[in-house]
Amino acid sequence: MMQVQETLSRESTRKAPPRNSRKPDRDAIVEEFLPGIRIHAARLKLRIPPHIEIDDLVSSGVVGLLDALNRFDDSRGIKFKTYAEFRIRGAMLDYLREMDWFPRSARQHSTRMQQTYSRLENILGRAPEEEEVADDLGITVDELRTKLWTFMGMTVFSLDALQDEEEESGAGWRHVLAEAAMNESREEELTRELKDVLGKAIDMLPEREQRLIALYYHEDLTLREISRIFVLGEPRVCQLHAQAVLRLRGKMNRHFR
């Protein structure tokens, strides 16, 4: 709690609220949002390297909330809760990017693998098998699985807010989330469209990967728990998860390009 208070004090002196907005009760709002911030931080903690402290994630979430307070303009009629939650998630993910436990070159390799999955799916009219992906990349299946294992740590971003190298101009499906948060009149429409596209993309995954995504993201099971259900080793389940996320990212990016 002390770290959160220090963050609140530091941020309060850094930025002033907009002149044309009512000054909010910052302490009360932080207190209201803090349980949700902690829950989101705890879920992220399950998917990242152990040296990342949960208190740091919570503090970055509070920074995101304070940033939302400073930027929010109630005269526009935008729903604050939606806008704040988007800023909170974004601040946590920005903090993780700043930690940069994966170099830019590794992220570029991840993007290229995603593009390979997407291109083969377009050619084949179905989700490509591991052997087909490995053959296209000129590597063995074991080497492909090693790459998937390596990229597993990056997939914490993948279904949340990762901007691929090709998305840095502001295009892509993250842009849709931002627009939904900023434009209340289109929030319902954009959110519905995003859920519809994601749902269809998941339905196109191989059956085992569909089930894995459901267990991991909807039922909040850990990969270790899923490995017991699948009767597979945890590293193999991690590889399947990374593969499923690469497929989904490709489908989402193509749709919202």
Q: What pLDDT, on the 0 to 100 scale, is given for residue 222?
A: 81
Which pLDDT band holds residue 205 (cuts at 50, 70, 90)?
very high
Q: Is the pLDDT score of 176 beyond 60? A: no
Q: What pLDDT, on the 0 to 100 scale, is given for residue 70?
A: 86
Please report, for residues 31, 34, 65, 69, the alpha-carbon distance to residue 28 in angstroms, rounded to integers and kept in the order given.
Answer: 5, 10, 12, 12
Q: What pLDDT, on the 0 to 100 scale, is given for residue 117?
A: 92
What residues contact 205, with CB distance under 8 A and at least 6 apart?
127, 213, 244, 247, 248
Q: What pLDDT, on the 0 to 100 scale, is given for residue 251?
A: 82
**Which of 217, 183, 188 lies closest to 201, judged by CA?**
217
What does the DSSP assignment read for the chain?
A: -HHHHHHHHHHHHH-PPPTTSPPP-HHHHHHHHHHHHHHHHHHHHTTS-TTS-HHHHHHHHHHHHHHHHHH--GGGT--HHHHHHHHHHHHHHHHHHHH-SS-HHHHHHHHHHHHHHHHHHHHHSSPPPHHHHHHHHTS-HHHHHHHHHHHGGGGGTTTTTPPPGGGTTS-SHHHHHHHHHH-HHHHHHHHHHHHHHHHHHHHTS-HHHHHHHIIIIIS---HHHHHHHHTS-HHHHHHHHHHHHHHHHHHHHHHT-
Q: What pLDDT, on the 0 to 100 scale, is given for residue 103?
A: 59
126 or 16, higher pLDDT: 126
Q: Is the pLDDT score of 256 beyond 60? A: yes
Q: Is the pLDDT score of 209 beyond 70? A: yes
Tokens standing for residue 107: 């992220």
Q: Is the pLDDT score of 42 beyond 90? A: no
Overall average pLDDT of the 214-240 stretch: 88
Q: Is the full-model pTM beyond 0.75?
A: no
Average pLDDT value for the chain: 76
Overall average pLDDT of the 49-62 stretch: 86
Q: Is the pLDDT score of 142 beyond 60? A: yes
CATH 1.20.140 fits 104-255, yes or no: yes
CATH number given to 2-99? 1.10.1740.10
**CATH 1.20.140 domain extents, the chain:** 104-255
Q: What pLDDT, on the 0 to 100 scale, is given for residue 227?
A: 93
Overall average pLDDT of the 40-65 stretch: 84
Q: Is the pLDDT score of 183 beyond 80? A: no
**CATH 1.10.1740.10 domain extents, the chain:** 2-99
What's the pLDDT tens digit per position in 94-119? 887 777 655 566 667 777 888 899 89
